[in-house]
Amino acid sequence: MELTLSTHLLVHSRLDDETLAAVADAGYRAVEAWLAEPHLPWRHPDRLQAVRRRLAAHGLRAGSVHLPFYPSVPELLEQGRRWSVIDPDPNHRAESLAGMERGLEAAAVLGAAGAVLHLGWPEDDWRGDAPRLAREAVGRLRERARACGVRLLLENILSVGTRSARLVELLDELDPDGEVGLCLDLGHAHVEGGGGDGLLEQLEAALPRLAHLHLHDNDAGSDQHLPPGRGTIPWRRVLDRLGEAGFHGLAALEIRDPDRGAGGPAATLARVRPAVDAFRREHGLTAAHRG
C-alpha cells in the first residue's frame, strides 16, 4: 500500500511550482489531484499537460484524481453551487455528468490510473429515483472512463445509497467484469459505524471491489478529516485486515485544512506532517516517502 496525498489539503492554493515543491519537500511521490478550479485548471488540457510536466519535474505523479463535485472553490463557498450526478433536476444532473466526463478526460491527461466519484452528496434521500439515476450515471461514466483509459472508483460518502454493500451490489449488476472499483473512505465508514465495528463491516463488504482508499480520522461523530491517528479509528485492526486481504493499491491521505491555506502550502503541509509521519512510522508505511 502506497500513501499518497490528496491535494484537497491544498485546495486553497494553486497547484503551481511553489505548491508542488512543498509537496515534494514533504516527501511524497504521488498525489490524488483534486479537480477544482482555481486550484487546478482541469478543464484545459493544454494547461493540464503543463501541470503533468511540473509534477514530473518535482519527482511527483498523479496516482489518481478526485472527480469534481462543485464547479469551482469560490462558487461552492460563496454561492453554494454543487454538482450531483443523481440530482433530480435534469438540467443540473446533465451539467454534473458533463463535468464528470471532462474530469475523466483530465485524469487521462494527467496520467492518473483512477478517478474517484461521488454518487451525490452526504445524507441524500435514496428512497425515490436516486438508485435509478445512480445506475444511469455509473453506466454512462464507466463507458467514458474506459475510453479514457482510467478506472472509475465509487466512494462511500455518508449516505445510505453509497455504503459499501450497496455499491458492490450496484456494480455486480452493472459491471460484472470488474472494470469499476471501490474507493473506501475509512473516515466516512467510521462515522457511519458510530465508533463500533461498522467500519470493519464496510471494509469487509468492500473487499470484492476494493481498489483505492481514502485515509483520514475523526471522533466517530462527525466527518472531521483529521490526520490519521488524531481520531478514534482502530488503525491497527484496519491495516491488519487490509494486509490479510492483500491490498496493494493507493491510499490517499484526504486531510482537511481548517486554516484555508494560511501561510501558504509549505506551512499547511508542516502543520499536518508531524501527525502523518508518526502514523507512518507506527505502522511501517514508508512507500510514499523518499526518507
Query: What tens digit of pLDDT does each residue of 190-224 get?
Result: 999 988 889 999 999 999 999 999 999 999 999 99
Average of per-residue pLDDT values in the chain: 95
Give yes or no for residue 73 having a pLDDT over 90.
yes
Cα separation, 110 vs 290, in Å, equals: 22
CA distance 254 to 185: 9
Q: Which residue has the higher pLDDT, 51 or 288?
A: 51
Long-range Cβ pairs for the range 275-278 (8 Å, 24+)? 275/226, 275/227, 275/228, 275/229, 275/230, 276/227, 276/228, 278/229
Share of the chain above pLDDT 90, in %: 95
How would you label 127-149 residue by residue, b for 16+ Cβ within 10 Å and e otherwise? eeebeebbebbbeebbebbeebe
pLDDT for res 290: 39
Predicted structure pTM score: 0.95
Q: Is the peptide bond before 38 cis (omega within 30 degrees of 0)?
A: yes
Instruction: Judge contact between 62 and 33, C-beta under 8 A.
Output: yes
The rounded distance, in Å, linking the Cα atoms of 159 and 121 is 7
pLDDT tens figures, 267-279:
999 999 999 999 9
Per residue in 24-35, pLDDT tens?
999 999 999 999
State residue 58 phi and psi, 5-degree precision.
Answer: -100, 10
Domains in the chain: ranges and CATH: 2-283 (3.20.20.150)
Q: Residue 160 gets which letter from DSSP?
A: G
pLDDT digits (tens, 9 = 90+) for 245-254: 999 999 999 9
State pLDDT tens for residues 84-143. Answer: 999 999 999 999 999 999 999 999 999 999 999 999 999 899 999 999 999 999 999 999
DSSP 122: T
Per residue in 32-47, pLDDT (tens digit) is 999 999 999 999 999 9
Under a CB-based contact definition with an 8 Å cutoff, are residues 179 and 168 in contact?
no
Q: Looking at residue 194, what is its pLDDT?
A: 86
pLDDT of residue 240: 96
Q: What is the pLDDT of residue 285?
A: 83
